[in-house]
Amino acid sequence: MASRPITWSEVHELFQTLAHVYRNDGATAMPARLAVPRPQVEAECDQWCREMHRDLAEAPLPPPHLRDWLMVRALMVASLAKALADKGEPSPGELGQALIEQLMIHEWHGALLTRWNSSGFQNPYGW
């Protein structure tokens, strides 16, 4: 069975759900504004993101020391995807390793961490 392209709305829903799972299953709190993860934690989060594409729906929970930052990454990806869906941007393609790495690693290091730390970011989910 061939895969179909995923919409930005579906990406939003998927990563919003993932953020909620991490929050409800062990993330202790949202990292403080202007917080920056330690380099070792960032590297471990990147590695976790590279491996999570294998079965996103059945992926085991990450180790406790990574959950807070993976929750924030998923939250920020959900926010980005919602903005792209609201603009009517075309599909990002199929959900797979390349898309997950682009969103959870490259976009995080490229702009989303800075956006997370900006005083203008409002958590749309209220937590």
Average model confidence (pLDDT) across the chain? 84
Domain assignment of residue 122, yes or no = no
**1 pLDDT above the threshold of 80:** no
Domain assignment of residue 80, yes or no = yes
Domain assignment of residue 45, yes or no = yes
- pLDDT the model gives residue 119: 60
Domain count, the chain: 1
**Reported pTM:** 0.87
- The tens digit of pLDDT for each residue in 93-125 reads 988 888 999 999 999 999 898 888 876 566 655
Residue 102's domain comprises 8-117
Q: How far is CA 23 from the centre of its chain?
A: 12
Distances from the Cα of 112 to the Cαs of 11, 51, 75, 79, in angstroms? Answer: 16, 20, 10, 10
Domain assignment of residue 81, yes or no = yes
- The tens digit of pLDDT for each residue in 6-16 reads 999 999 999 99
**57 pLDDT above the threshold of 60:** yes
- The tens digit of pLDDT for each residue in 15-39 reads 999 888 888 876 567 777 777 889 9
Domain assignment of residue 1, yes or no = no
In whole angstroms, what is the distance from residue 81 CA to residue 117 CA?
18
Domain assignment of residue 16, yes or no = yes
Domain assignment of residue 3, yes or no = no
